[in-house]
Amino acid sequence: MAGPYLGNAKNTMDVIRRYDFAFQKRFGQNFLIDENILKKIVESAEISGDDCVLEIGPGIGTLTQYLASDAGKVIAVEIDRNLIPVLHDTLKEWNNVEIINQDILKTDLFSLAAEKNDGKNFKTVANLPYYITTPIIMHLLESNVPVDSITVMIQKEVAERMQAEPGSKDYGALSLAVQYYSEARVIVKVPCTSFIPRPKVESEVIHLKKYKEPPVKVSDRDLMFKIIRASFNQRRKTLANGIKNASGLSYTRENVEDVLKTCGYSASVRGEQLPLSDFARITDLLKMRYS
């Protein structure tokens, strides 16, 4: 099997020129040209010959080459059909890669796992387009799709929101969702000079190890996340007012204030002050008393 060769600017530009490839702004395409970062991504994803890797957005196949060198199999899902012939060229020396031209948000990952991985879970790795980072990660976390871990290159600010603690300006619904479903760990910071073309923002590689069981128990997960989203939709409002005004929730301000008092909070508390465990407790009490 060949060794990876695309992790530098010269070889990347050779491929781009050979195919007269035009970057699609709508797909947020930025190709990695840093061998050290590429190696760190594969290492942090803990890829072995026993693994089937689901790669989202392989681009011209740079990271795919590194993954295929270590994994048993790589399923690379690419939305841009113009990149498919490029991928068939750059990955022709790796016989353990399958390229699928689809939108990952419309791909049936359960069927894919059953067909390509004997029903076992994937390890997911991606250099994600920044414009759609959150929808893709939330889809992978919330939909209970067959994924053990998610190792992704994302915008630095998004990585900071994922790890934010109560009381910080970055803390929000994304922080709570990531913390409910996974253990998050930043692997490495990535400067904009590590890409072609250079993005205008700094990046980070983050590893999300999915929990087998969430760290908190709640009687109604979907209700809890409706309450969480309502609490952050209008950050300046109190938690009670945020929930009262939310469509899809039928609790009054008095209902919420009653439950907050039981939990030891004042009526003026905001969602950004509460940890995940208290959102779970508030959900349970609201459902028990007022649903």
* Structural domains of the chain, ranges and CATH numbers in brackets: 9-210 (3.40.50.150), 221-290 (1.10.8.100)
63: confidence class by pLDDT, cuts 50, 70, 90: very high
- Residue 81 gets which letter from DSSP? G
Long-range contact set of residues 71-76: C-beta below 8 Å, sequence gap at least 24:
71/47, 71/96, 72/48, 72/96, 73/97, 73/98, 73/116, 73/117, 74/98, 75/100, 75/112, 75/116, 75/117, 75/122, 76/100
Which tokens belong to 109? 């990952």
Of 70, 80, 84, the C-alpha closest to 104 is: 80
Of 73, 118, 69, the C-alpha closest to 98 is: 73
Mean predicted confidence (pLDDT) in 85-95:
94
Q: What is the average pLDDT score of the chain?
A: 92
Longest CA pairwise span in the chain (Å): 67
Kindly tell me if the per-residue pLDDT of 26 is higher than 80. no
* pLDDT tens column, 174-230: 999 999 999 999 999 999 999 888 888 899 999 999 999 999 999 999 999 999 999
User: How many angstroms separate the CA atoms of 253 and 26, rounded?
Assistant: 42
Query: Which residue is it, tokens 């060794």?
Result: 3
Judge whether 5 and 39 are in contact, CB under 8 Å: no
Query: Which residue is it, tokens 């709570």?
Result: 176
Q: Which residues contact 37 (CB under 8 A, 6 or more apart)?
A: 188, 190, 194, 205
Kindly tell me if the per-residue pLDDT of 125 is higher than 70. yes
Long-range contact set of residues 222-225: C-beta below 8 Å, sequence gap at least 24:
223/283, 223/286, 223/287, 224/279, 224/280, 224/283, 225/173, 225/176, 225/177
Strand partners, 186: 206
Judge whether 81 and 101 are in contact, CB under 8 Å: yes
Question: pTM to 2 decimals?
Answer: 0.89
Kindly tell me if the per-residue pLDDT of 23 is higher than 80. no
What is the pLDDT at residue 95?
95
